[in-house]
Structure 1
Amino acid sequence: MTNGVRPWSTAGIEKKAAKGGYKKGTIEYDNFVQTNLAKAYNSFKVPTIAGYVILGGFGLLVLAVGLYRLICFLANRRRNGLPSKKTKLENVIQKSVTKKPFVGERHAQEYGKGLFTFRSPLRIHVIVLFFLFLANIIPLTAFYQILDPAKNTSWPNNRYAAQSRYFADRSSVLAVAQLPILFLLSGRNSPVVFVTGCSFNTLMLYHRWIGRLVAVLALLHGIAYTAYLVNLGKYTQYWWKYNWFPLGPVALIMFVFIIFTAHRPVIRKYAYDVFIAVHVLLVIAAIATLHWHVYLMDSASCHDFIIWIYVAIAFWAFDRAVRLLRLVLFSFDVRLKTKQRWSVGKVERFDNINVLRITVDLPAPSSALHTSVAYAGSHFYLYMPQIQALTSHPFSLVQHRITQDEQGQCKDQLVFCASIHKGITRVLNAKWQNKTLPIFLDGPYGVRHNILSFDDVFLFAAGIGITHILSLLDGVVEPNPTRSKNVHLVWCIRSIEMMAVAIEVLEDVKARLKVGEALQHVSISVFVTGQGTIPLPVLDNEKRSSPLDEKAVTPSGDMTITYAGTTLTSNDAIMAKSNNTCIHEGKEGLNSENDLFARLQRIAGSHPSSQFELTINQRRADIQQIISEQVTGQSAVFACGSDVFLDQIRNASLQVDASYFEEPFSW
């Protein structure tokens, strides 16, 4: 392949004319030069410049967002972590642009049914995508230099052939030019995440839309080039004469199939493991086919094509290399100084609920590293080679804790919880309960929320969404606070047994609250919408009429559990006791110390009500009322749960101008 020579180089075209036998100064020579200059300009110069403009604009956008984050970080350090008062402009931008769905009031929920479903992006996403589409439409439809057909030596008196060829070439150049962005946005370890701090959900949104754009451009290239060859009557000839030509339709079919299978209702929603395997294999095959399709042309016009393809491959290889590095550093004893050579996990299931707990013991050299990098709200990808050798699965980090082994040695543990569904969780539940297996960790990932800068934090969780929220709760309650902080947790669950998932984190949070130093106030409201297997106390009508969230204080001043507006005494807790208990490591069998209500009673009864409140309500939570009455414009709202749950909290939070952050179940 000829490298370093642009196809629109006048010197190169004149040299080509001389080799073709054209004499300088003749009309034929001038027509040949003008034809090739127009072809190079229309087919390659305009789209190539546009491609670099798109790449440069994307880079500038990423740097601008990174600079904004840096300014906010320095300003926060200058305030010594104290919260800043939001301005009216910030509230307007959040309510109208950054957190507002483009269509209607639903962002997490899907519109449509069956295969015809879509999620409405936020308005900020639409603005970015609009300029991206505009940057493609303009060079695709404008800035054409059309010669007089009578002077066109390539396609004499055939304007249709010339225009269809120009359009086909432009669409192909624009498609390949955006492959680096497409691959850069596909990786867990993308530098874009490091610079901008955007969530993986946002990254995947742009990745999907740019993928669709590239596929549409490739499809336009195929249609226009086919029309061009059919017009010249050379379609069959090209199939057999040029070895690069058949590779084009093959690559095009692969790209279209990738987009189709990536549509959530097709495979991704129902068989994510299958989707990932098919997606990766198709991408590798498509890029390899595209590379040879371009490389075998052996043309100077393909120089930038090859560069863009290599850059895209480099981004993909970088992400895989960093994943492997993380896995080795965090999961293996690279110093070979301990008996435990790699991380080992134990799988347990909570009684009477479809939830697993995975406790991963880290090898000693990795522990310090994990302690320094694991953060509130993060998640890890777990590799379980004994189950699936090449696939990893994301799990929310519930808690990082330090325990002692049988020899009295301290060890670090990472605790994860997950609902039992199809796929890996079903296999773990069926074959690995109460067993240990090697589990390798790739992480942590997720947005680093500056949650400590807020003095009024509201945490909303629905069902298993508590796993993400517990990590935030564990991170926001400081052992030695320097200023007052109010933390409110609202958790909606179907049965009281689900509280077993949170019991150990609540106990640790309680232990950090120092009696007499009422700088931190933790309020937990649990809403039980169904009837579980634990028999709850039978309350009479007078007791049930008590309002929500009333404080119940015993004569001694210690806080006790409130259920349905009624204080549960020790006798009530005993009445609620059954063989349905939460997992408690180190205890054999089931006894009163493991009883769920007994442990909740100990948590709530250990601190004055001004520091810790635990309320259990057997009814649905009125999210709108809670947010409108308690959340202010200076509050931070974090939510994790179902799509309907997230949309409800987002809309309510925007009405009171609160800072809103969410973690969806899917992307």
Structure 2
Amino acid sequence: MRTSPAIWLAACLLQANLVFSDLVGFGLHPFKIYCASACQWALQAYPLECSEKIPKGFLGWATTSSECKANDTAWLTTLAWCLHVKCRAHRMSELQAFWETDATRDMTNFGNTGTPVPPKWSYEESLQQITEPPRKMPVDTTTVLNFTALVPEIEYQAQLNTALGVTKEQETGAEYGVIILVTGFGIPIILTWLYHLPFTSGLLSKITPYLTQPSSIGTYSVRSLPFLLGNAPTIGQAAYIAVFFIINIVLMSVNYQSMQPHLYYPGESMEIKAYIFYRTGIAAYALLPLLILFASRNNVLLLWLTNWSHATYLLLHRWVARLFVLHALVHSFLALPIFLPQQAVVDSDYWAWGVAATVLCVAILFASVLPLRRWSYEIFLVTHVVLSVILVVGLWYHVVLWIGLDSYGYETWIYAACAVWFFDRAARVGKVLKNGVRRSKVTDLGNGYIRVDIPRASFANDGPGLHVYAYFPTLSLWRPWENHPFSIVPTSLMSRVERQRPEQSSGSSSPTAKESGVHINVHDVEKHHGFKDTASASLETGITLLIKKSMGITKHLKATDGLLTLMDGPYHNTSTREIRHCDRLLLIGGGIGITSLLPWIASHPNIKLFWSVKESARCLVEEVQGVLSEIEKDVRIGRRLDISRLLEQEAEVGYCNIGVVVSGPGGLCDDVRAAVAAVGKKGSTCFELDVDAYSW
């Protein structure tokens, strides 16, 4: 039973609320009271009577433990007086709460870290120890603080500006990171739901031929661009990419505020550069969950709540990855002038992990180019996963060694990304275990075409538009984990028998078929090849895969009975709702693409199949002709289809909505996409297009 999308959305929003509560500015607040923290930090530089006998500690400050502060009269009275003067706007209870949790912290980084020790006096008791207002300030940071002192105003203001400036920028960065993440997965959901509103569906149908169907670069989409530069997005996909990039650029460019004097970044220019450095780093971390989500097979949030295909999300995954690298590079390049002069920073472990993470993300980007994917997809996949895992580890140590946990919430983005990744992997394992171990029958059809029958698949009759990732572990001892996606056909559908009429014995077309308008153009296949008798086929529920041998594990397939098979799936190629509701359904296939089209035969009452195959694929036509015996079809062996003409003829009939499902080589899919967009612009017939391509 399928869970309601509304329930999934509510669950996701609830989980998002829990995740965001661990981000700075949402549920995490490094400084409870800014004025109190400024007082505390301004005093941190001065040694106490009980301080360790080390001239200079972290950042040149005296090394003073929490135990020392908790029992030192001068520290407690000086801090209490500073809070009394600078924090008049806060209630006594708020200041007492700060006192109990932060007054004696051993601060070893920016932000109140370390474990406090209860001070010997409360805040109010410490004030009572002061008999008259202090008038003396420490001369410099070598002065031992053994009296109740005034905090130097310039030191206090610099500390306050630093705390306010850095923390406010972290809060803004976290807020913008949430906007980037929510916008990334929210736009597909909103656009899908707008399509179903009564007052927008008609308008969206009219703009579909101009926006979502045509390619943004010529007719390239499934086919790669010249020189293997990648795949061109459709105009709709390009619009999403452009909007998402613009949102990121705008959010990285606005709402900066300089606060001088500043302890870390003297000068307004240096301070603003530092804030851009912070914000781009946060944006990169915020993109990480979205990056993994778009690449996931079990993308429950988006594949269930939208009508966008997994292929679309994979394309967007690549563009989000480029944006991720862009943020990382800006973050890294800005870090150089800010921190290179500080040798202690450059020699630190967190700096080394940051450099490693930047190098890794660039390496992953270049290792994912189309030529490499075509040369060896398996090598690409293994290196992609391994390098990505190392990258996440590097990002983790980069922030943990710098700021620690629970300071600004950087680790929250990594938790979210890991949760998405582990959910996807666990779901894959769960589906494999649910489907169980199968023993498949492999039949060699000839000329490199293979039929694989997998018994007892519970999802065999769940409808069209499904595929599984099949594992054949015994075919390759070196890569038993290798798997590939295959469209599925119910074995019961493949077991249909075409009963020849007496008048067909000579191989001529049946008068009944001609009268019904069915056109069969298969170069008289029936004269030379009798239909296979499948009456003795098993009636148990199962699925059939029709495979053309290629690179990878499929080249090892050969006729056998009892091949060990594991299945991860099923998965939906895309939403079939709009296609099912069309008045007419056209199935257009090329070669082995017929596999994903066959399940549609039993899913719509008004279907016509157009199928073009090479002469070498005649064996494939013979294998499925029993399935095609009762539908309207145009099957051509050795000849191409005139896509534009056949679409125009169907539109002239006067259908309001025509669904087009195409599966096959990239050239065919791109031709159909271009033709559907062109014909859709001319007349009143609306076309729904579903491209199920096999490509890289």
Shared fold, TM over 0.5: yes
Deviations 1:589-634 (A, max 9, x none): xxxxxxxxxxxxxxxxxxxxxxxxxxxxxx4322221211223552
In structure 1, distance between residues paired with 2:536 and 2:542 = 16
Q: Following superposition of structure 1 onto structure 2, how do residues 474-623 of structure 1 map, counting pairs within 5 Å?
A: 474-476=602-604, 485-495=605-615, 498-510=617-629, 522-529=631-638, 619-623=639-643
Residues 96 and 344 of structure 1: CA distance in aligned 2, closer, same or farther (over 3 Å): same
In structure 2, distance between residues paired with 1:640 and 1:64 = 28
Is residue 397 from structure 1 mapped to residue 488 from structure 2 by the alignment?
Answer: yes
Equivalent position of 2:277 in the other structure: 168
Match of 1:383 among 451, 468, 471: 471
How far 1:20 moved relative to its partner?
Answer: 4.4
How far 1:276 moved relative to its partner?
Answer: 0.9
* SS of residue matched to 1:297: helix
Equivalent position of 1:183 in the other structure: 292
Equivalent position of 2:595 in the other structure: 467
Equivalent position of 2:433 in the other structure: 328
Equivalent position of 2:503 in the other structure: none
Equivalent position of 1:649 in the other structure: 672
Equivalent position of 1:346 in the other structure: 441
Deviations 1:445-488 (A, max 9, x none): 12241344233111111112111122323443xxxxxxxx4321
How far 1:107 moved relative to its partner?
Answer: 2.2
Is residue 624 from structure 1 mapped to residue 644 from structure 2 by the alignment?
Answer: yes
Is residue 411 from structure 1 mapped to residue 540 from structure 2 by the alignment?
Answer: yes
How far 1:93 moved relative to its partner?
Answer: 1.5
Q: Following superposition of structure 1 onto structure 2, how do residues 40-59 of structure 1 map, counting pairs within 5 Å?
A: 40-42=167-169, 44-59=170-185
Contact 1:35–1:154 under 8 Å retained in 2:
yes
| Letter matched to residue 154 of structure 2 | I
| Letter matched to residue 660 of structure 2 | V
Is residue 637 from structure 1 mapped to residue 660 from structure 2 by the alignment?
Answer: yes
Equivalent position of 1:79 in the other structure: none
Equivalent position of 1:560 in the other structure: none
Is residue 61 from structure 1 mapped to residue 155 from structure 2 by the alignment?
Answer: no
Equivalent position of 1:370 in the other structure: 459
Deviations 1:361-403 (A, max 9, x none): 23xxxx4x3245x321211100122233222211111333288
Equivalent position of 2:370 in the other structure: 264
Is residue 143 from structure 1 mapped to residue 237 from structure 2 by the alignment?
Answer: no
* SS of residue matched to 1:118: coil
Residues 5 and 507 of structure 1: CA distance in aligned 2, closer, same or farther (over 3 Å): closer
Contact 1:6–1:300 under 8 Å retained in 2:
no
In structure 2, distance between residues paired with 1:94 and 1:506 = 35
How far 1:113 moved relative to its partner?
Answer: 0.9
Equivalent position of 1:120 in the other structure: 232
Is residue 199 from structure 1 mapped to residue 309 from structure 2 by the alignment?
Answer: yes
Residues 644 and 504 of structure 1: CA distance in aligned 2, closer, same or farther (over 3 Å): closer
Residues 528 and 16 of structure 1: CA distance in aligned 2, closer, same or farther (over 3 Å): same
Equivalent position of 1:227 in the other structure: 337
Residues 637 and 155 of structure 1: CA distance in aligned 2, closer, same or farther (over 3 Å): closer
Contact 1:10–1:37 under 8 Å retained in 2:
no
Residues 103 and 272 of structure 1: CA distance in aligned 2, closer, same or farther (over 3 Å): same
Larger radius of gyration: 2
How far 1:94 moved relative to its partner?
Answer: 0.5
State the TM-score, normalized to the length of structure 1. Answer: 0.71
In structure 2, distance between residues paired with 1:410 and 1:647 = 38
Residues 408 and 443 of structure 1: CA distance in aligned 2, closer, same or farther (over 3 Å): closer
In structure 2, distance between residues paired with 1:8 and 1:452 = 57
In structure 2, distance between residues paired with 1:56 and 1:660 = 28
- Taking only aligned residues, the RMSD between alpha carbons, in angstroms, comes to 3.0
| Letter matched to residue 384 of structure 1 | F
In structure 2, distance between residues paired with 1:487 and 1:299 = 62
Residues 185 and 302 of structure 1: CA distance in aligned 2, closer, same or farther (over 3 Å): farther
In structure 2, distance between residues paired with 1:270 and 1:166 = 42
Is residue 308 from structure 1 mapped to residue 418 from structure 2 by the alignment?
Answer: no
Residues 656 and 90 of structure 1: CA distance in aligned 2, closer, same or farther (over 3 Å): farther
In structure 1, distance between residues paired with 2:312 and 2:678 = 23
Residues 411 and 5 of structure 1: CA distance in aligned 2, closer, same or farther (over 3 Å): closer
In structure 1, distance between residues paired with 2:490 and 2:539 = 16
Match of 1:237 among 322, 325, 344: 344
In structure 2, distance between residues paired with 1:509 and 1:294 = 60
How far 1:171 moved relative to its partner?
Answer: 1.0
| Letter matched to residue 311 of structure 1 | A
Equivalent position of 1:447 in the other structure: 574
* SS of residue matched to 2:244: helix
How far 1:283 moved relative to its partner?
Answer: 0.8
In structure 2, distance between residues paired with 1:130 and 1:642 = 28
Residues 61 and 623 of structure 1: CA distance in aligned 2, closer, same or farther (over 3 Å): closer
Contact 1:85–1:634 under 8 Å retained in 2:
no
Residues 472 and 20 of structure 1: CA distance in aligned 2, closer, same or farther (over 3 Å): farther
Contact 1:175–1:217 under 8 Å retained in 2:
yes
| Letter matched to residue 614 of structure 2 | R
In structure 2, distance between residues paired with 1:410 and 1:501 = 22
Equivalent position of 1:27 in the other structure: 154
Equivalent position of 1:565 in the other structure: none
Deviations 1:222-251 (A, max 9, x none): 111112223xx22x43243x2222111111
| Letter matched to residue 392 of structure 1 | N
Contact 1:173–1:305 under 8 Å retained in 2:
yes
Contact 2:257–2:272 under 8 Å retained in 1:
no
* SS of residue matched to 1:99: coil
Contact 1:458–1:636 under 8 Å retained in 2:
yes
Residues 390 and 176 of structure 1: CA distance in aligned 2, closer, same or farther (over 3 Å): same
| Letter matched to residue 583 of structure 2 | D
Deviations 1:156-209 (A, max 9, x none): 3x4554333222211111100111111111210112112113211011011111
How far 1:25 moved relative to its partner?
Answer: 7.2
State the TM-score, normalized to the length of structure 2. Answer: 0.69
* SS of residue matched to 2:657: coil
How far 1:8 moved relative to its partner?
Answer: 6.7
Deviations 1:323-369 (A, max 9, x none): 11111111x2xxxxxxxxx3111222212x2211111123xxxx4x3
Is residue 110 from structure 1 mapped to residue 239 from structure 2 by the alignment?
Answer: no
